[in-house]
Structure formats: C-alpha cells, structure tokens
Copies of this chain bind each other. A is one copy, B any other.
Amino acid sequence: MSDDALISLLIVDDHPVVRDGLRGMFESAPGFTVLGEASNGVEALERAAALDPDVILMDLRMPGGGGVDAIKELTRRGARAKVLVLTTYDTDSDTLPAIEAGATGYLLKDAPRDELFTAVRAAAEGRTVLSPAVASRLVSAVRSPNTPGNEPLSTREREVLALVAKGTSNREIARELFISEATVKTHLTHLYTKLGVNDRAAAVATAYERGILG
C-alpha cells in the first residue's frame, strides 16, 4: 500500500443501518474505498480473504460468529488487514480480549466523523488508536495484571455461582450437584477470592459485570 493510494475497507456489523452509515460516510470522503460488507465474524473472515482490505471496521457483538474470534483468526492467519474495532459501549467486557486478539484500534460508534477518518488512516499505517475510555481501561489493566478478579473460575465454581444467582442455598446446591455442602462452601470461598469479593451477593454482581453470568 503506497502513501497516496486509497485505503480499502471492509465493514463488519450485524446492523444494516450501521453498515450503510459507515459505507456512505467513507465513500463520500476522499481517500477511502469500501470493498465490501459482512454481518458476522465468519462472513468477515471469508470477505477479508477474498477482498484483502487495508482496514477492517469490526463490530464485536454479532450473532453467528463473534468479533473477537474473527480477530483472533485473522491474527493467526497473519492477515495483512488491520482491524479497527468499532463498538457501541465502552463498558464492553470484550474490550481487552479484542485488543489481546490483535485489534489495531478501538473506537466507540458515537465518535464524530473526523475522528473515524483519522482513526482509519492511523490504523492503515499500523498505528494504534484507542478511544479515551478504552485507553484508560487499558492502563489500569496493565498497571495491575495480578489484580484479584482476572483469575478465571473453574467449571465447578461457575456451576455453583450460577445456582447462587438463582437464590439456591448451599444445601440445595449440594443436593443438585451431588456433592456435600462442605464442598459447596469450598467452591464458594475459592470463587470469592478469585472475584475479589466477600459474599455471594457481591459475587453475583461482579459475575454479571464481567459477563460470567447473564
């Protein structure tokens, strides 16, 4: 890709409205060309291979093939395309996974037009572009990688937690999982420390915040 060439784009979003908005926006601006669209992660991989775009504008939450998986696969393939994640909420729990997976940038959909253009140009050159909210999340995540809470729950712990969220008592959980009440308590104390909380109510809350439940 030379400096003065058009930046070619692939738009990936499950909402037709958003795809149209992005396509119109970039086709009417100088320096860009939209090669195609996709409405889910799997489709995005096909189109990316066929069209070989410079930059992929990618939504994260999509039915039928999530965005994060698509980014991972692109990275694994060593794809030339840079991925610019374009999502709705900055509270998205997939923020960090997406960046870890290899996304070049992360922007919110409510970004003004100019910011979008700038971000795409930056992404095309391989420069990282992050929305302020995401940037601050990142630094705090990097600053404390051993923060209590990023430790993944074991399968059994998640099962116990799911029952807790339904209001099940320890004794009932024990019966339902065919284990003793003592074991249930052990799982609970373990997942409390993993989540960095002190009781079941807070555990349920943080589980929802992190997308473990719900």
Contacts and interface: CB of A to CB of B under 8 A. Distances in A.
A205 B202 contact: no
Can you tell how many copies of this chain the complex includes?
Answer: 2
A10 interface: no
Interface residues of A, number: 37
A165 interface: yes
A58 interface: no
Interface stretch (A1-9, A11-19, A73-81, A148-156): A11-19
A165 B15 contact: no
Contacts of A200: 199-201
A108 to B, nearest CB: 9
Nearest to A17: B21
Contact of A202 (B112, B165, B202): B165
A31 interface: no
8 contacts: A17-B110, A18-B18, A18-B109, A167-B205, A169-B199, A199-B200, A205-B213, A205-B214
